[in-house]
Structure 1
């Protein structure tokens, strides 16, 4: 019975920590079928170097830290003191693991803000990772829309 309680406690802690993991917004917001992508054409008007903050918070750091904290907490004491040490270890490990993951992956990345004049005369701005082939006057495709849009040069 005691093992069942520990198994339940560990399972609950893992579940609770995984619920804290970041979720991707998903959803394209468009009416196109999965796998389809709108492609538009235009000419690059302006390219500005910038930086973007990444967001790779998958929650893996929190989960692994929490599991490590439970493992270390299980080595301390007996009975309810051990249970308290496991819970405290899970919480501290989860917070520490999440912090470590953010420090590793949430660093600003070099990017470009590209302004493209469409054939209709409308200006479209896209911020994306650096592409050295994009310069003012370059004919380009704009693939996708919203946060998933990318500017790629046309290969004539």
Structure 2
């Protein structure tokens, strides 16, 4: 019992200490944000892979399989049917979710020459208001970067 209590104390202290770490400018906390401005050099159509790994299909499929498995047999056989139904339902639900929602979507790759002369490429959902030669802002960074018209 003492060993378990000491391990729990150690783990909780580690969690408390890690929660107190400083948040830097790159960690999504307070800090400077640079607004980049430039002119569109090129726009080309492409596709973006979506990221719908929410697990909702697996959970719903597992619950459905569990429900159906509970209708089969009695005693240990029923327990086995429930586990098998939950597993099969989870696999089937995950497959159905990926098949339906994890399809590539139409996107555009926008190449912007920022004011210091550097070219920046951003792949984003199609924004029909953008055109070649337009003055734009680049908002955000990394996968969250978006090109938006100035004004």
What is the TM-score with the length of structure 2 in the denominator?
A: 0.79
Aligned: 1:148 with 2:140: no
Q: 1:82 offset after TM fit, Å?
A: 0.5
Q: Alignment length, in residue pairs?
A: 127
What's the Cα RMSD here?
1.7
Structure showing greater radius of gyration is 2
Q: 2:53 aligns with which of 36, 40, 57?
A: 57
* Structure 1 segments (4+ residues) deviating >4 Å: 34-37
**Secondary structure in 1 aligned to 2:121?**
strand
Q: In 2, are the aligned partners of 1:116 and 1:125 still within 8 Å (CA)?
A: yes
Matched residues in 2 for 1:44 and 1:143: separation?
14
What is the TM-score with the length of structure 1 in the denominator?
A: 0.77
Q: In 2, are the aligned partners of 1:54 and 1:106 still within 8 Å (CA)?
A: yes
Matched residues in 1 for 2:47 and 2:92: separation?
27
**Secondary structure in 2 aligned to 1:75?**
coil
Q: 1:69 aligns with which of 65, 68, 78?
A: 65
Deviations 1:27-86 (A, max 9, x none): xx8255269754210100000000111111100110010001000000000111101100
Over 3 Å counting, the alpha-carbon distance change for 1:76 and 1:38 in structure 2 is farther
Matched residues in 2 for 1:126 and 1:141: separation?
11
Aligned residue number for residue 6 of structure 1: none
Aligned residue number for residue 107 of structure 1: 103
